[in-house]
Structure 1
């Protein structure tokens, strides 16, 4: 099932994308798509209501698509989780996941404008698989327990300002939490629709020129391991998001490749999860 939220920023309504491409409102079932909805089995209720023809259709004309998840509790990010990305940045392959946090308020819609910070000289792109938690995960016994707590998956653009991240602080947060720095969506695809989460292709282009082309099979730490690992250090709650890392092809790892500037466009996709498109503008 493809869950989504549509409408103006701050006024989105919950919806579902049917197999025939039509959008149906979930407003009669839930105020929003959030942690409470996921924890209470909202996706299954939506699936049943759609099959019964109980959901009104939404006119898509001129309709903005927002982030598919309202108010993530936290956005946990994994750095250097693809071998080729670690190599291109000159970093060693991690022996443990590299974990950092991102301000959840930076999450925006998949086609929204992304703002380049006023003093930025190194705003960069990162196509990533996002994992959305649907049930509380606390001290999971093993990675095999992870599937039971995952609600689904989405595309994430972990936009990063590299000078802020690497040159202005001993931690990465300054370069990761600038406003609008995490387009998410267009859909939250429920886990049952993804046959093998470790066999997904990730692609990104800047101004029409291919930059990133990778596969989740090349992760250093796979999705199940990451969810298990994080649950040993923090409680993962319904509505939390995990950005699982990016493959090679970021500007930081491509000498001579320009960082993003006003008017640049970025297109990214993951098979089964849809596509995004953003225009970058000076803040």
Structure 2
């Protein structure tokens, strides 16, 4: 644990650039395996669920089922690539590599570490979300000009989930502790988001809880980009994702600071 003096919170572009540059340098060596894992799993889900259940359910809410799942798979790719990378990589860098201690020895604060990593992982997650969208095109999803907004939705969502992953990472001491997070938090978020079935099928109480799920707001925005925007509702979804990202970031900074600075 570093014994660096606690500095006032500040975000400096030079420090952010340094954190980003380090993440990019490391990513250049492992981009093949990271990209394969982040992209292939949602694509497999798209094909398996879309073709499998598509034989039983032709349309959902007036949308061909495979296109319904395809747009949901975009959000799945964003979730998995952001939150898992943040959880496991942050724990490894903090506990085993002591990378964060080395950063704090330089003119970099905890705020900048969390912000830089969340921005990098969020941007990467937004780009990874393009892969399932391209596969959905192959299954008949008609391209629309508004689909250029999909990566932006992915980036905003990815930043929030990256910060959430860093928060969870700072709450545990071993990889075993993350098993509780995956089973108790990530899996429910993934399943109850309207990804594979509409929330209208859920009981009222569970549907109300699902509205608090940030992944649900991501799914809705992506579907609206693909099938037609709804300005009023979309502003609410964007605001919900922005609020989630801000809250997750603040909690991640708070918990990471408690872990690193004494």
Is TM-score (shorter-chain normalized) higher than 0.5?
A: no
Q: When the two structures are superposed, what TM-score results if normalisation uses the length of structure 1?
A: 0.31
Higher radius of gyration, 1 or 2? 2
Name the structure where strand makes up a greater proportion of residues.
Answer: 1
Structure in which a larger fraction of residues adopt helix: 2
TM-score under structure 2 length normalisation: 0.32
Larger RCO: Structure 1 or Structure 2 (Cα < 8 Å, ≥ 6 residues apart)?
Answer: 2
